[in-house]
Amino acid sequence: MDELTFAPDFAYREMKVSIITATYNSARFLEDCIQSVRKQTFLNIEHIVVDGKSTDATLSIIHKHRNHIAKWISETDRGIYDAINKGIEMATGDIIGVLNSDDMLDSSNVIEEIVKAFENKAVDAIYGDLDYVAAEDTSKIIRIWKGRPYKRNRFHYGWMPAHPTFYIRRSLTEKFGLYENHYFTAADYEFMARYLYKNKVNATYLPMLIVKMRMGGESNKSLRQRFRANRRDYLAMKVNQIPFAFLVSILKPLIKLHQFTRNSRNR
């Protein structure tokens, strides 16, 4: 009886989570990001920072928090997804997630709840909810990305999990590969489509707010950039065998419009 009672808790405590943060001239908000990891109730976290040779105060902030950062490097790279790939190759955790340098984990128990979900050995990936917030006032919610229970066929009409909330077992990266840098801002979509749709990785929706993301992402800065991102989404859909890729690439941004009109959260 005792073995049955305590074995799951032992497994929970033995797990390690690697959180990868890519930085480049990220001094403005990096401290908030690091502090949100430091505040986690789950302690077995390996925070990895991969810097692209910043010229602002980013390295000073990294040095300030070096006792709470497991590994870090600063060297030139080919963009954010190249940096994330370096972080994955440095990671030793059982679970891997990405936390952008201007984003924050919402609450102190986020990683604890993610790890508990991974106690189910059938679960290979986790995702949850995300709030887009104003850059200077993170209490001001601009857009709500509410997740849904996982169904693979939702990819057929442009659905995807919120990438900043996406956590996977590290062992999967050895089977299915890293981020494809040549997709630029669509690399996160291609990565998730390759894992969840093409290779049928078993995902689970965690119904909680995981990340607060500051507005101002690369793919959404202008209409022209949004069209460019859609072209890359289309190519990612084609390579991962999503049917009717051209139509789905048009639907993908349209199904997100409701995220801007919600005035209250119903979680």
Q: What string of DSSP letters covers 186-207?
A: GHHHHHHIIIIIIS---EEEEE
Residue 252, number of CB atoms within 10 A of its CB: 21
pLDDT tens string 66-92? 999 999 999 999 999 999 999 999 999
For the chain, give the percent of residues with pLDDT over 90.
76
Report residue 229 as tokens.
């991102």
Which residue in this structure is represented by tokens 């009717």?
A: 244
**Domain regions of the chain by residue span:** 1-103, 120-162+183-267
Helix (H) or strand (E) holding 127: strand 125-133
Segment 233-261 shows an average pLDDT of: 78
Helix (H) or strand (E) holding 78: none
pLDDT tens string 21-50? 999 999 999 999 999 999 999 999 999 999
Contacts of 189 (CB under 8 A, 6+ apart): 160, 163, 183, 233, 236
Segment 128-133 shows an average pLDDT of: 97
Angle made by CA atoms 129, 193, 82, in degrees to the nearest 5: 90
**Can you name the CATH fold of 1-103?**
Spore Coat Polysaccharide Biosynthesis Protein SpsA; Chain A (3.90.550)
| Residue type at position 151 | K
Which pLDDT score, from 0 to 100, does residue 162 have?
A: 96
Contacts of 171 (CB under 8 A, 6+ apart): 94
